[in-house]
Amino acid sequence: MAEKAFLGSLMKAEYLLPDPVIHPEQLESTRHKELMRKLCLPQQHTCYLN
């Protein structure tokens, strides 16, 4: 539940995405890891929401 709340907060406050303190590898749920990777693409140094 905490991961879901964290990701929801990132999506609502997208200005936090470029420099997240928590990285996808630190999340427990595979679904949440994939979502965070899609939200913030480190190879492009850009974060976005579709």
The full DSSP string for 1-50 is -HHHHHHHHHHHSGGGTTS-SS-GGG-S-HHHHHHHHHHEETTTTEE---
pTM attached to this predicted model: 0.63
Q: How far is residue 30's CA from residue 19's CA, in Å, rounded to a whole number? A: 21
- Using 50, 70 and 90 to split pLDDT, how confident is the model at 28? very high
The Cβ of residue 11 has, within 10 Å, a number of other Cβ atoms equal to 13
pLDDT digits (tens, 9 = 90+) for 2-22: 888 988 888 888 777 777 678
Give the type of residue at 40: C
